[in-house]
Structure 1
């Protein structure tokens, strides 16, 4: 039988429930982790702020760029098969910078691939995750429920204070997972600090129609105020991402459709012809937030709670999913080694391995997105020839292209087996 939304504590007031893993946050990464853990025979709980029948706010009209590694993993987890709306293939990536010479074009076909990845609308992905979550037999979903803080759980468990319409209660877990986003309440309760950098940019996101329909090309055009990207959706529209200086964000938000399209056309150019129309616009202030540690005793951070990075290069969700899948893989491996006898998901060795496994991928991805965002936005005249030389190298030098292609496809560092086309974790005998 699929799980219900009635928590065991609600069913039996006062009863203590011990989870192997308790995930706070039912967004993109938290839900994906719950799915990855389901067949390991563990007691997993998922605390979600939204009620049954509703999707978290993160599942909006944003366009998610799934690297090939992400597509592999989500297919193995049975999520891609649940998508009802068409997705868009990324067959090539076209990169340029306003005011600089040169451009770089990466072709998937040159690397024996039909595509680098796919464009998926966040709302469609949310519906697919929900459909897959509904099939999980062991998962206990607590919704709508809010995280309040931590209580004394002793050395063997974490005690987590939560609240729903019936009031406050305490859940117990051997491993607490913070998947509750950039302003993570769990991270704060654990006493893990953050390093922040405000890019002073705001991104506008919408669906855009143009004279020429998408042909599999993802365009990223850099500028002083951030990138303007056109992503090939599956509905014959483009997903638009348009960066503006924070000081101009209110004025840009107030533009009517025609004026907004004219602004974007000026920033992007005419590579896909005239822009004809766009859907509702959403705006997001860009701030990099990096947790100073990925683990605490019996606790771990994943996704945006661990790092929220500049979306340039479309690395954010792909990185967060690799967090979740690495954790699931380490739990599976450690449990297999003990045959499940006395296995503890919150063991310090598992957490140490997680921090070590994520170090290279996280460090290189953060450095790539942050460096690219700063370098491409800087208007110093001396940087223009350097950027043009970089675009030339990226277009002509095999080593430079190979690095960019590996990053675009999600194969950076020690990635989980599911990302490389491995099999879905299975129940232990």
Structure 2
């Protein structure tokens, strides 16, 4: 993903003594989680502002042709927030999940009907989802949007008792924006996180993921396949437009050669990696690539600041946990803010942020461990690892209680689950 061009800062940029524009909440980042948070905060009546790199009329680069697997908990929340009804194209229901690994015995087939569900979740195209988020944001009368704009850092007086003051570059010059609470929703390479001095733990999986839309000889039937190999997963997801959303993992050293393949050669490679479970692949659309690096912030709160989404944790996409986890970060933060409002407390106080961090602790830890463990163990080519994986797949396929726990987590029900995710009204 390319970074936006730096915004010019006029020679007349304000000094530290210049007055700051003030808001209750300042969200830095207008991507998946930042936009969802702004929408969810609307019901609080607070003065909310958002700093966005993309100009008006353009979507952030994250809203491309990649496919998002929304867990049931996320579907519940986004439907209640009015986002999903604005989608222009139908979603693809995930009614079955088929998991296998090349070279291993055993496989797992999870069926939503066995757990009293019509589906485990829905597949949406990021671009369509971005349009739906934008349409919802445009209907919020109180939201102030600074765009195109870029976070520069915090002012010298940026950690006062009752506010933080952010420095933001805009086309008109530098602004100082004060807020009771600053939310970092600015992605993996978070400038806000860096400005707060929060360190990260990083692990490079040495994999590159290729993402594309693929048409097959058979239309999707609600099955999501996860085919695992030494070099990463190949996931084939049922889209609502009759195509498949395909994620193909390759070793980093092979990425340039794979990127250079023409469409016919790429489809042949994909067919070899995945097999014929969905029939013959006939056509592939434009391919995007993403290097896979796990980034975990060592803490998620600072005085009057909080990290959500990829700024807090960027996970391997195996198991499709990333956005779903980030959305739960955002919705739990809204609940903590509402509770503070009801008590008449300061929404950015240390106590409120400590409560949020504690509520997110179990879900964040378990989801990150699940994603990382799955990525590492499934890519391990050793004979012992293969035997252990086979036994694990066999146990999961034959143990109803174990399947229920795995399914519950995959649908977004880990730890302290926000009310909207549980299907309760706002």
Aligned to 1:6: none
The TM-score with structure 2 as length reference comes to: 0.95
Equivalent-residue separation in structure 1 for 2:364 and 2:78 (angstroms): 20
Q: Secondary structure at the match of 1:212?
A: coil
Aligned to 1:79: 83
- Report runs of 4+ in structure 1 exceeding 4 Å deviation: none
Aligned to 1:112: 116
Q: Secondary structure at the match of 2:232?
A: coil
The Cα shift of 1:337 comes to 2.2
Aligned to 2:357: 355
Equivalent-residue separation in structure 2 for 1:136 and 1:165 (angstroms): 23
Q: Secondary structure at the match of 2:383?
A: coil
Contact 1:20 1:344 in 2 (8 A): no
Q: Secondary structure at the match of 2:220?
A: coil
Equivalent-residue separation in structure 1 for 2:376 and 2:160 (angstroms): 45
| 2:388 maps to 1:386 | yes
Contact 2:112 2:119 in 1 (8 A): yes
Structure 1's unaligned 5+ residue stretches are: 1-9, 425-429
Which of 122, 128, 135 is the equivalent residue of 2:132?
128
Aligned to 2:73: 69
Q: Secondary structure at the match of 1:354?
A: helix
Aligned to 1:215: 221
RMSD: 1.2
1:188-209 alpha-carbon deviations (Å, 9 max, x no partner): 0000000000000000000011
Contact 2:20 2:175 in 1 (8 A): no
Equivalent-residue separation in structure 2 for 1:319 and 1:129 (angstroms): 18
Contact 2:20 2:165 in 1 (8 A): no
1:405-416, aligned counterparts within 5 Å? 405-416=407-418
The Cα shift of 1:153 comes to 4.8
Aligned to 1:55: 59
Equivalent-residue separation in structure 2 for 1:16 and 1:192 (angstroms): 25
Equivalent-residue separation in structure 1 for 2:272 and 2:402 (angstroms): 30
Structure 2's unaligned 5+ residue stretches are: 1-13
Q: Secondary structure at the match of 2:241?
A: coil
1:203-229 alpha-carbon deviations (Å, 9 max, x no partner): 000001111110000000100000000
Equivalent-residue separation in structure 2 for 1:153 and 1:90 (angstroms): 46
Q: Secondary structure at the match of 1:227?
A: strand
Q: Secondary structure at the match of 2:378?
A: helix
Contact 1:203 1:242 in 2 (8 A): yes
